[in-house]
Structure 1
Amino acid sequence: MKYHINKGIGRTVEFQGLKAQYLFVFAGGLLTVLILVMIMYMAGIHTYLCLSFGIGAASILIWKTFAMNKKFGEHGLMKLGAKRVHPKYIVCRKPIRRYLKRNLTTQKQIL
């Protein structure tokens, strides 16, 4: 009896070159474009205008998603999100005496 080993275990999910979180951006964006086209069509906007908007928006979404995937790599979106939250500089408004006083008190308690 022969069993085939799945060599994809432990690797990131990939579809047509898109990796990891870019798949979710891609799928969510296409779903959003589809819903917008349906809303526009039900609102009574001309069919060709709805189709041209859908095709244009989907094309831009595909282009930008693949460009971000190529530029930032597999973990790029997480790194960008972390960089936005990270402070640019640390502000210390307490006087230095206060830090020294607390450290001396702590050291006396240990001894």
Structure 2
Amino acid sequence: MSYQINKGVNRPIEFKGLKAQYIGYLGGGLVTLLVLFAILYLTGMAIYLCILIIAGLGSVLFYKVYGLSHKYGEHGLMKRNARRYLPIYLKFKTRRLFYEKC
């Protein structure tokens, strides 16, 4: 009896070069662009101008999200954002912490 092994069990989700949370960022950005297109069209703006604006913003969105994905990878953006919560320095008023035996 032989079993088929799934070799992608612990690998991150990847779609066309986008890794992990960046797929969600791109999806959310596209939904936002769809809503923006609807708002622009309903306000009476010319359809060609709406398409031009949305195409430009969509290009910027794809460029930025792919850039973030390639620069920071799967967890790098979360690590970069977590860095701002680290203290700049630690201050101790006594050395007793370092002299105590375990």
Rg larger in structure: 1
Q: Look up the match of 1:61.
A: 61
Runs of 4+, deviation exceeding 6 Å: none
Q: Give deviations 1:36-93, integer Å, cap 9, x for gaps.
A: 1111111111111110111011110001111111111111111122012223234x4x
Instruction: Name 1:35's counterpart in structure 2.
Output: 35
Q: In the alignment, is the contact (CA less than 8 A) between 1:21 and 1:77 conserved in 2?
A: no
Query: Relative contact order (C-alpha < 8 Å, sep 6+): which is higher?
Result: 2
Residue 3 to residue 44, structure 1, CA distance change in 2 (3 Å): farther
Specify the alignment match of 1:79 in structure 2.
Answer: 79
Determine if the alignment matches structure 1 residue 44 to structure 2 residue 35: no
Gaps of 5+ in 1: none
Provide the identity percentage: 44
Counterpart of 1:53 in 2: which secondary structure?
Answer: helix
Taking the aligned partners of 2:40 and 2:66, their CA distance within structure 1 comes to: 27
Deviation, 1:15, is 0.1
Higher helix proportion? 1
1:16 alignment partner in structure 2: 16
* Alignment check: 8 A CA contact 1:41 1:47 kept: yes
Structural RMSD (CA) = 2.2
TM superposition shift of 1:20: 0.5
Which runs of no fewer than 5 residues in structure 2 stay unpaired?
none
